Amino acid sequence: MIRRVQFEHRLTDEDLADRVGVSPGTIKNARGLKGNLDTVTLLSFEHEFGPGTIDPAIAPSGSRAVPQHATCNTDGCDLLPVLSAAHAIAEAKEGDSDGGSDLTHQELVEIAPVLRRARAKLDNLIARADRHLRRVA
């Protein structure tokens, strides 16, 4: 996944690390299979480079991060695919990672603000759907 993103976007380890918020060493280690990317970093890849970017990383679990029809624009990516990606990543965590199959404290600290924003957007979407359904009924 890292090699493909770097090739497609012509990014060095430093450039890629800067875009997803990690150190160049983290990128180098993950690319060389000497380290793993945490949940927040994988979500950063998906957010920065679009739906499906992390599919190769989670494919061994039989998962896809987002529906194929998902789109990104200047306002960001579709909300539901981002939530799907978060769930798929959490489900696909390796048992030998720092938190085992559970999210670590640090991962939860880092992802909590993202999830809160997603929840607010989801609540707005539900309210909009409810208003629409009341008008139609």
**Alpha-carbon gap, residue 66 to 64, rounded angstroms:** 6
Q: Over the stretch 84-98, which tens digit does the pLDDT of each residue have?
A: 656 555 555 555 555
Q: Give this prediction's pTM.
A: 0.49
Other C-beta atoms closer than 10 Å to the C-beta of 64 total 17
State residue 11's pLDDT score.
Answer: 94
Give which of 36, 33, 35, 39 is closest to 109, Cα–Cα. Answer: 39
Give which of 119, 133, 131, 120 is closest to 86, Cα–Cα. Answer: 119
State residue 27's pLDDT score.
Answer: 93
Q: Over the stretch 66-83, which tens digit does the pLDDT of each residue have?
A: 555 555 554 555 555 556
CB contact burial 18-50 (16+ within 10 A = b; e otherwise): ebbebeeebbbbbbeeeebbbbbbbbbbbbbbe
Give which of 128, 126, 51, 118 is closest to 85, Cα–Cα. Answer: 51
Low-confidence ranges of the chain (pLDDT < 50): 74
State residue 25's pLDDT score.
Answer: 93
